Structure 1
Amino acid sequence: MSTTQSERLRELLEPLVTSQGLDLEEIAVDSVGRKRVLRVVVDSDTGADLDQIADVSRALSARLDDTDAMGNGEYTLEVGTPGAERALTEHRHYVRATDRLVKFQLREGGELVARILAVDEDGLDVEVPGVKGRKATTRRLAFPDIDKARVQVEFSRKDKKDMKEEEEA
């Protein structure tokens, strides 16, 4: 059974990432001209701050220097987080996206933009925003019914504290 370079790198690097209290979300090796770039994406339930990213980057760099996992050629190591509009592919991603607005591509066709309210082992409860003065509605989505899901960026979302203050006024 043959393993790809990404799989070998995951086996080598994942224990280091986990020891730093983070999850290894993605590994990609890309060629940019004559250079190679190793991109490592990490995250956790509470997010990853710059100090954690720096620590894990140093640990990964040291481990890669001690092995021939990247071969003899030059490469650049880039360590980062998934970003604002991350794709949701694992159960933990949905849990981390609770209270976030998500665009769902449904298996039976069609799209749905809704806010994740709760996540369990079978699926999620979402709130579909009301349109043209209508109230928001809740809906249940089972994981098998979801083809793709991606967090949406919200520029003017009010936090719960602001909404509560408006209701009391």
Structure 2
Amino acid sequence: MDYDSLTTSEITELVTDPKKPANNVEYNDIYNEIVTTILSEQSQKKTVILDTIDDSIDYILTTNQSPIETRFTIALILKINHYTLVRYDFGKTLKHTNDYGTDHEQVIRGSHVHIYCAPNKYSPKNVYPISDFPRLHNIELIKSAFLEFISFTHIK
């Protein structure tokens, strides 16, 4: 698999492959902090996640909570090349542009999802509005988004 130019079916395979934390204590700390905390506070966390089908694939699970409880990011990043496999960005004032400078340019405003994008700031970001993901329509807080994210990415 060429991780710098995955096909749609390879991306789907990676997203749906079962995964597990490399360090259960570290993962459980993140999980418990997000799922059981009543008040939101600014934090950044990350831990390594392993693919259980292909043991040569490692991911980095990251969370970033802003002081604003409805503005946060959850991402699963390929460790080998730092491409984002899936990232949820929540916030009403967020803005991304797909196909910048082309006839197909599209501005996405508000909460959105990134699917398979390079780490370079100026590379295409493959951003989709939350409206394309019915499972995310009524989510506004990191707790619900995190539970949905680990379900969507098959982290057990």
TM normalised by structure 2 equals 0.24
Larger radius of gyration: 1
